[in-house]
């Protein structure tokens, strides 16, 4: 298991400025692609305690679940399957049975640097990553529920983002990150992103 951490250090000028803005938060997002050209960013953590130094840690441990959509003549319901541990190169399937069984295993059809999600019932994929000791959703099928018999490649990217916002919401996924600072993570270990007095970010 590989472990990563990012410490965000703020110059006192910026710490005071952002702390004075009502409801502003320091936000953190991870990047995931679905096998195509587009990359999606999911906000996975935020804090309204704008401190001089803030740290977030994560690992390369992932889990999959399926969010199953069930409809009858009188009701539409959503149910999340149990989560299963997955590794790169694995294929995960949600079966068409009463329990919506989810299973996973290595497959030559799956990308070596990511995962393949398939479904026999209408559902969406949920990918979780271990962040600060808890599994947190970092991707859900961007187009919503997948029709039965669909498949989706999901590839975590070696990029994270930090930014300040007064309206960001956890588990919100977007294609664009605006003024967020993009940080490329090369290999496990500890990284530090510093916002200096001039408003410039540096990475060490």
Burial string for 111-144 (b: 16+ CB within 10 Å, else e) reads beebbbbbbebbbbbbbbbbbeeebbbbbbbbee
What is the tally of structural domains in the chain? Answer: 1
pLDDT at position 180, please? 83
Query: Tens digits of per-residue pLDDT, 74-119?
Result: 556 678 889 999 999 999 999 988 778 999 999 999 999 999 999 9
Q: Is 132 a residue whose pLDDT tops 80?
A: yes
Pick from 155, 172, 171, 82: nearest CA to 117: 155
Average pLDDT over residues 135-156: 90
Distance CA(28)–CA(39), nearest Å, equals 16
Query: Tens digits of per-residue pLDDT, 31-71?
Result: 999 877 788 888 888 888 999 999 999 999 999 999 887 65
Check: CB of residue 6 under 8 Å from CB of residue 56. yes
Q: Which domain holds residue 198?
A: 3-203
Task: Tell me the whole-structure pTM to 2 decimals.
Answer: 0.87
pLDDT at position 194, please? 95
């Amino acid at each position: 298991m590989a472990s990563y951490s990012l410490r965000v250090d703020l110059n006192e000028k910026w710490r005071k400025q952002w702390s004075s803005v009502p409801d502003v938060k320091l936000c953190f997002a991870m990047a995931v692609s679905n096998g195509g050209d587009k990359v999606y960013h999911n906000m996975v953590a935020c804090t309204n305690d704008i401190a001089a130094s803030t740290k977030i840690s994560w690992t390369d441990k992932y889990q999959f679940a399926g969010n199953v959509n069930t409809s009858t003549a009188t009701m539409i319901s959503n149910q999340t399957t149990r989560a299963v541990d997955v590794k790169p190169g694995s294929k995960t399937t949600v079966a068409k049975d009463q329990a919506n069984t989810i299973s996973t295993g290595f497959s030559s059809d799956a990308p070596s640097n990511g995962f393949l999600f398939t479904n026999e019932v209408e559902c969406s994929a949920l990918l979780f990553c271990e962040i600060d000791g808890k599994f947190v959703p970092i991707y859900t099928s961007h187009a919503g529920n997948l029709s039965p018999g669909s498949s989706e490649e999901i590839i975590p990217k070696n990029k994270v983002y930090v930014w300040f916002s007064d309206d960001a919401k956890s588990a919100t996924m977007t294609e664009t990150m605006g003024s967020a600072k993009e940080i490329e993570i090369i290999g496990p270990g500890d990284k530090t992103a510093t916002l200096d007095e001039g408003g410039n970010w540096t990475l060490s």
